[in-house]
Amino acid sequence: MNIMRFIVPKSLVEYVSADSTVRQALEKMRYHRYVAIPVIDSEGRYVGTLRNDDILSYFLDRGSFDLKFAEENKVLDIIDVAYAPAVYHDASMGELIDRVKEHNFVPVVDDRGCFVGIILRRDILNFLLKYYNENDKGVKNGGKEK
């Protein structure tokens, strides 16, 4: 199955650039009420996902929640780039399902590593529920036919 059927294209996805300040990213995440947001470099490549945990750790490590600190550092300086690796646009459905078990969204990249969009956990779960309902033969009660 082609996973691109689930894609939310880059043009509809909120993201931050790798050279954005921590404060800019924080304000964008707060405005949209996000707990995580994709980070894209100046070439359009996916860098990683910034999480609210990254921002909280950033402030705790400095011993202050003063926003002046957040204006001094770039997003690229604080993200854990290994946290949410992207899948390629031609990844298998199995690989996608493995990723959505751990994350609310999965970044998708093309062959050059350029960000093309995200796939939401909710969309995969809705698809699987629909598939299950359409293919359920009424097997209930421990595997016995009803």
φ/ψ of 90, rounded to 5, equals -105, 20
Per-residue model confidence (pLDDT) at position 66: 85
Nearest one of 41, 34, 43 to 13, comparing CA atoms: 34
Question: Quick one: pLDDT at residue 132?
Answer: 84
Which of 6-15, 54-63, 129-138 is most confident? 6-15
pLDDT top residue among 113 and 145: 113
Residue 117: strand pairing partners: 9, 108
pLDDT tens digits along 93-129? 999 999 999 999 999 999 999 999 999 999 999 998 8
Q: Which CATH class is domain 8-140?
A: alpha beta
Kindly tell me if the per-residue pLDDT of 143 is higher than 60.
Answer: no
| Cβ within 8 Å of residue 131, ≥6 positions away | none
Each residue of 59-94: pLDDT tens digit?
Answer: 999 888 888 889 999 999 999 888 899 999 999 999
What is the reported pLDDT for 141? 46
The predicted structure's pLDDT at residue 73: 92
Total residue length of the chain: 146
Q: Are 40 and 15 in contact (CB under 8 A)?
A: yes
Closest CA to 68 of 54, 53, 58, 78: 58
Q: What is the mean pLDDT of residues 44-65?
A: 93
Mean pLDDT, all residues of the chain: 91
Q: What is the pLDDT of residue 20?
A: 97
**pLDDT reading at 146 higher than 70:** no
Give the global pTM: 0.84
